[in-house]
Amino acid sequence: EEVRKPDAFIHYTDKAIAWIEAHGKTIAVLIAIFVLAGGSYVGFIKYKKNQEKTAQAALYSLRTQLEKLNESYNKDTAQAAKDVIDDKAADTVKKDFESHYATIIKDLQDFTQKYTGTYSEKAGYIQLAYLFATNKKWDKVIETLQGTVSKTPKNNFYFGLMSMMLSQALMNTNNFSEAIKVLEQVSAQPEHQYLHAESLLRIGLCYEKQNDMEKAKQYLERVERDFADSEAATNAKYYLRMFKVKGNA
């Protein structure tokens, strides 16, 4: 059965996209929690607190608009699929993503510029990148996150979350060396310990795509050994078995 499966990276990409889609609400909740935490952060001057609260309200309004757009987009594309016979034809009539979301994309971009330096700014970038990621617009994810990730302190919560989203986009556009650099920064920070297993797994799969099987195995075996109870370890075991079946182990 494993011989008939695609290579490790393609299989992983499918799982990663499924994870993004399945955990969208969880990500949204995390964003909301940390935005609210930022709004009351001890030591913020009064202006900053007021600015943060204003930004939170603006972002909430944008999220409400986005949810309505998502509903109409999904409804329209589902109807289009019913109007044609096969899936390939359905793709050709799928409502154009850019035109449907053009206004909200611009509004989110304007929001991040207006509220630069706030916690809500980072949440805005994540929301925009998440919209692109769930629609597999990987170049747009990179364009959205690359600049802000480089300006965010590496021990900041948002740095970890944005870096993981950025690394997935880099992997999906075959920028494996760049993805490794991003993931190494995440795995090196103790503040992002909850992301270490996943980041090391991705590094291993990047090396697999670069045909460096020795390093790929080293990273996957490390995940399997050091994070034995994690989902990443379960995935690492799968990929190591796949390598063996394909004659790379």
Q: Which tens digit of pLDDT belongs to each residue from 124-179?
A: 999 999 999 988 899 999 999 999 999 999 999 899 999 999 999 999 999 999 99
Whether domain 2-245 has CATH 1.10.10.10: no
DSSP string across 108-173: HHHHHHHTTTSHHHHHHHHHHHHHHHHTT-HHHHHHHHHHHHHHS-TTSHHHHHHHHHHHHHHHHT
- Under a CB-based contact definition with an 8 Å cutoff, are residues 183 and 167 in contact? yes
User: What's the pTM value of the predicted model, to 2 decimals?
Assistant: 0.78
81-90 long-range contacts (CB < 8 A, ≥24 apart) are none
